[in-house]
Amino acid sequence: MQDRAPDESNGDQDHAGSIAGERQIARELEATRASLEVALSAADMGGWDIDLATGSARRTPRHDRIFGYSEMLPDWTIDIFLSHVEQSHRHLTAKAFEKASRTGLLDIECPIDAADGTSKWIVAKGRLMHDEAGAPTRMAGVIFDITVRKETEAQLAQAQKMEAVGQLTGGVAHDFNNLLTVIRGSVDLLRRPEIEDSRKTRYIDAIGESADRAAKLTAQLLAFARRQALAPEVFDCGQSVEEVGTEVVPGI
């Protein structure tokens, strides 16, 4: 039996050590990846990592479930992502991906049509990765479902809208009641046989002015309902109050 040369023995040991080191690194990377998946799952997020050279993306199972798939698709690309985005937001979402290739950051909020037939709102955030030479190689990030948040915001907005409508209705009823008070008071006064002609004319004018104000108020309500621009006017509040008082209570 021949003895192996010392340098050959050292070479074998170095090679074995290198393999062991690579295996250890692989195990650590796998453990890190598993820990990340657990963290993302706990946060109800999906993870994704796009290889810019191939356009293909690795994902966590939660990613595909957010898009309505019970099982992971064999492949995923930006085009597949965009195919799920509602048509009204698709162009802006595509622009966001293009912008991310320049800025290095992706931040998207958009509605999607999921594969299971549901409609959702999602957020996708990512960051561009570069190689040692500074060339972009990957984009990685997370995605999460914000449908519940959007529904809550819509319910809150509807509640605020109904509150505003209630306040508007109360104000309009008050304004119309004031106008009707003037009209009713003037009519009652006109029925008195002893009323002077000059006062009759004033009460008739008051009825006409109140009718004009009611017509203007109605026009403003219609403009509000049609979301048309209103034309606010400056008026003398004191003079208006004085006129109403004179019309309702004779002799003031």
DSSP code for 233:
-
pTM flag (> 0.75) = no
12 within some domain? no
- Split into its structural domains, the chain has a count of 2
Residues 170 and 190 in one domain: yes
Regarding predicted confidence, which is higher, 86 or 223? Answer: 86
Mean pLDDT across 22-28: 67
122 within some domain? yes
- The predicted-structure confidence for 67-100, as pLDDT tens digits, reads as follows 999 999 999 999 999 999 999 999 999 999 999 9
135 vs 48, 51, 141, CA distance in Å? 20, 13, 18
Owning domain of residue 87:
43-145
3-state helix, strand and coil shares in percent for the chain, rounded to the nearest 5: 60, 15, 25
170 within some domain? yes
Q: Which of 96, 129, 145 is the last residue of a domain?
A: 145
Residues 187 and 211 in one domain: yes
Q: Which of 145, 175, 198 is the last residue of a domain?
A: 145
184 within some domain? yes
Q: Which of 126, 145, 164 is the last residue of a domain?
A: 145
The amino acid occupying position 212 is: D
pLDDT confidence of residue 252: 45
Helix 147-190 / helix 237-248 crossing angle, nearest 10 deg: 50
DSSP code for 85:
B
97 within some domain? yes
CATH value at residue 206: 1.10.287
- The predicted-structure confidence for 143-191, as pLDDT tens digits, reads as follows 999 999 999 998 998 888 888 878 877 888 888 888 888 888 888 888 8
